[in-house]
């Protein structure tokens, strides 16, 4: 038996590891929280079992204390006062619409409105350790250095205060949801092959350590909770989680003398734990594919039409689950919760918090997007502080396709909006490379267009380069090989190379690490001789459609030499084109009437006006 167990444990770990030197840290949490719903303060105890799988000896550990960002004078506050286009949710316009003057909402928070996490005690293996709070980061100096392969246990007690809702987390959001508890606990920072990722909380999102969570939340019995994990005591809790239904009378009797309930959740193999709570949540459930329970928690005092939207959302969410299972890979957890809360839409482990007072299209579209993040962030956990485009862009790509199918949109190019947004960015003069860290963009708008739109186009355009079939295969292989890990841009590129047999280093470099742009043009047509020109700074393989004077058409494909191969195509394959060569001439069999470069418009050419050329026939 032992041998079998040993093998079973090893197989999933090693068979998927593409790099035999790959390792990742492990952080298992046991937490209990006592929430005071009147003061918005909570007392917490946390036991963190931290395993150092790295080859390095660690002397220091870092935790994130995200709630400290919601204090006047924090880095988040100061950044908000200086960025030219602050997030509208985080500021008040004290000027006019024409001449706005933005005031940071964080700068105005009173002591009982700010967020904080204060560490009371911290021990390593039962001995007190030295720690220091530096803004949103806690620095811990270990008593005993942690050797490669060793485990250590960190016991902590802390006090938290839930901030007035300004961004993502908080109390009493604009729709009156009491508690949006995201990024709410002391969370160990990730340490990987690049070192520590102890980034201050300025605006952007996640990089966390994989682990198992065991969380107990004690809260006023009137509150209904939803979030990450599986409820362990559903019949004690009720609130729509119970498996044994009680009569109203029996329920009254059961809960009469109780003031608070303790909700016990476990969540295996996640890198975050989120929850939300409100005394007025309606809680519906529905079964999705592979016995996944879908939970929907939304305010029972929404307008009638909005309540109907939340009902209609439920079967669509099940359809999105099936779509992502089929087109990326199987959802591995037992539940997913769509919860009204937060300040827009934001993805978390096994759940999303989304504002609920939306029209139907918006509720569905945002849910499709946030749910897709489960695959591109909560299972393929790229560091989105550094590689934001792999998270937002890939999510946008797959949710565009899911919306097109599930909502029967029948769009010829479901990514058209992203292409337009990217081209606007590329011609705006404020574009910065995608490889810039998410918090460091000069403009929020440029960050958004780069991460979401240019990231979406990265994949859609890769379909143009390697072929649609190869792209679909790449996505599935990427998920299989890198789920429950922290893949990097290179891991994705290697997967696409292995599937397609083409060389793609140039694509990753130019698209993600530079602001080079694509602009191909037709220079000249001389009877049956066609000359194309590369006017842009980024090269591409070229699909060309030629219409002859006799009315027939022929498709040609010009491989980019750097690919060292070609995509599967039914077009006539002609000589390759090296990026060093500014122009390219080819001869066809008959006199030409017109030529079009990339009629599918999946190549992100920033000036399409020179992609079509028609021969003017003089009589």
State which residue, 392 or 543, has the beta carbon closest to Zn ion.
392
- Reduced 3-state DSSP string for 419-462: HHHHHHHHCCCCCCCCCCCHHHCCCHHHHHHHHHHHHHHHHHHH
Mark residues 520-539: x for contact with Zn ion by CB under 5 A, - for none. --------------------
In DSSP terms, 262 is beta-bridged to 218
Q: Of 392 and 481, which CB lies nearer to Zn ion in the complex structure?
A: 392
Q: How far is the CB of 588 from Zn ion (least distance, A)?
A: 45
Give the tokens for residue 308: 């109907």
Shortest Å distance, C-beta 345 to Zn ion: 7
Name the residue nearer to Zn ion (CB basis): 392 or 431.
392
Minimum CB–partner distance for residue 373 and Zn ion (Å): 5
* Residue showing tokens 């006199």: 591
Contact criterion met (CB below 8 Å) for 191 and 185: no
Could you identify the residue written with the tokens 């008959």?
590
Q: How far apart are CA 210 and CA 206, in angstroms?
A: 12
CB 395, min distance to Zn ion, A: 5
Q: Which residues contact 451 (CB under 8 A, 6 or more apart)?
A: 388, 389, 391, 392, 393, 434, 438
Report, in Å, the least distance between residue 313 CB and Zn ion: 18
**Minimal distance, residue 348 CB to Zn ion, in Å:** 12
| Structure token pair of residue 236 | 């004690």
Query: Where in 386-445 is the site for Zn ion (CB under 5 A)?
Result: 392
> What's the first-to-final CA gap in the chain, in angstroms?
89
* Tokens read off for 402: 């899911």
Q: Convert 170-200 to b/e letters by CB count within 10 Å (16 or more is b).
A: bbebebebbbbbbbbbbbbbbbbeeeebbbb
Residue closer to Zn ion, measured from CB, 77 or 392: 392
Q: CA separation (Å) from 382 to 252, 392, 488?
A: 47, 11, 6
Q: Which residue is nearest to Zn ion (CB)?
A: 392
What is the nearest approach in angstroms of Zn ion to the Cβ of residue 204? Answer: 11
Number of residues counted as binding Zn ion (CB under 5 A): 1
Residue with Cβ nearer Zn ion (135 or 448): 448
Our CB check for Zn ion shows the closer of 392 and 519 to be 392
Stretch that binds Zn ion, among 130-138, 263-271, 384-392, 510-518 (CB under 5 A): 384-392
| Shortest Å distance, C-beta 355 to Zn ion | 14
Which residue in this structure is represented by tokens 């769509």? 338
Nearer to Zn ion (CB atom), residue 392 or residue 439: 392
If the CB atoms of residues 346 and 595 are measured against Zn ion, the closer one turns out to be 346
Site string for Zn ion, 210-229 (x = CB under 5 A): --------------------
Burial, 571: exposed, middle or buried (Cβ in 10 Å; 0-12, 13-18, 19+)? middle
Contact positions toward Zn ion, by CB under 5 A? 392
């Amino acid at each position: 038996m032992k041998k079998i167990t040993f093998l079973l444990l090893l197989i999933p770990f090693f068979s998927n590891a593409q790099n035999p030197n790959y390792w990742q840290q492990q952080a298992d949490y046991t937490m209990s929280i006592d929430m005071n719903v009147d003061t918005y303060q909570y007392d917490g105890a946390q036991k963190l079992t931290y395993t150092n799988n790295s080859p390095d000896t660690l002397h220091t550990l870092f935790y994130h204390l995200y709630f400290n960002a919601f204090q006047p004078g924090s880095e988040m506050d100061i950044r908000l006062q200086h960025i030219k286009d602050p997030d509208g949710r985080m500021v008040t316009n004290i000027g006019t619409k024409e001449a706005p003057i933005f005031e940071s909402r964080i700068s105005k928070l009173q002591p009982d409105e700010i967020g904080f996490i204060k560490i009371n005690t911290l021990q390593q293996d039962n001995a007190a350790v030295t720690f220091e709070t530096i803004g949103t980061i806690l620095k811990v100096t270990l008593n005993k250095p942690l050797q490669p392969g060793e485990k250590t246990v960190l016991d902590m007690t802390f006090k938290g205060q839930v901030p007035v809702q300004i961004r993502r987390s908080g109390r009493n959001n604009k729709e009156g949801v009491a508690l949006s508890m995201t990024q709410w606990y002391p969370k160990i920072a990730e340490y990987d092959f690049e070192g520590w990722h102890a980034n201050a909380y300025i605006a952007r999102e996640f990089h966390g350590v994989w682990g198992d969570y065991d969380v107990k939340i004690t809260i006023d019995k009137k509150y209904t909770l939803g979030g990450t994990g599986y409820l362990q005591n559903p019949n004690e809790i009720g609130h729509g989680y119970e498996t044994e239904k009680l009569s109203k009378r029996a329920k009254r009797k059961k809960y009469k003398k109780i003031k608070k309930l303790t909700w016990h959740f476990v969540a295996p193999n996640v890198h975050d734990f989120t929850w939300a709570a409100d005394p007025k949540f309606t809680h519906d459930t529905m079964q999705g594919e592979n016995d996944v329970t879908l939970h929907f928690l939304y305010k029972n005092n929404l307008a009638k039409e909005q309540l109907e939207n939340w009902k209609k959302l439920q079967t669509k969410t099940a359809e999105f689950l099936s779509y992502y299972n089929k087109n990326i890979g199987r959802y591995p957890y037992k539940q997913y919760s769509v919860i009204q809360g937060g300040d827009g839409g934001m993805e978390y482990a096994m759940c999303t918090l989304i504002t609920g007072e939306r029209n139907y299209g918006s509720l569905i579209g945002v849910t499709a997007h946030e749910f897709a993040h489960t695959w591109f962030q909560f299972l393929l956990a790229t560091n989105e502080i550094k590689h934001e485009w792999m998270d937002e862009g890939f999510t946008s790509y797959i949710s565009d396709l899911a919306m097109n199918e599930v909502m029967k949109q029948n769009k010829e190019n479901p990514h058209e909006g992203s292409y337009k947004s990217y081209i606007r960015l590329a011609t705006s003069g404020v574009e910065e490379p995608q490889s810039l860290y998410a918090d460091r963009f000069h403009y929020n708008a440029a960050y958004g267009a780069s991460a979401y739109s240019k990231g979406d186009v990265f994949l859609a355009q890769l379909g143009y380069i390697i072929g649609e079939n190869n792209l679909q295969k790449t996505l599935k292989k990427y998920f299989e090989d890198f789920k429950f890990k922290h893949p990097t841009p290179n891991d994705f590129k290697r997967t696409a190379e292995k599937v397609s047999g083409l060389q793609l280093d140039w694509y990753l470099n130019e698209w993600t690490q530079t602001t080079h742009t694509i602009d191909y043009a037709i220079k000249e047509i001389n009877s049956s001789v066609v000359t194309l020109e590369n006017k842009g700074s980024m090269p591409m393989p070229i699909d060309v459609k030629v219409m002859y004077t006799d009315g027939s058409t022929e498709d040609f494909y010009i491989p980019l030499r750097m690919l060292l191969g070609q995509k599967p195509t039914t077009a006539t394959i002609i000589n390759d084109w090296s990026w060093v060569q500014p122009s390219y001439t080819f001869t066809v069999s008959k006199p030409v009437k017109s030529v079009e470069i990339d009629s599918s418009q999946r190549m992100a050419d920033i000036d399409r006006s020179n992609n079509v050329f028609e021969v003017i026939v003089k009589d």
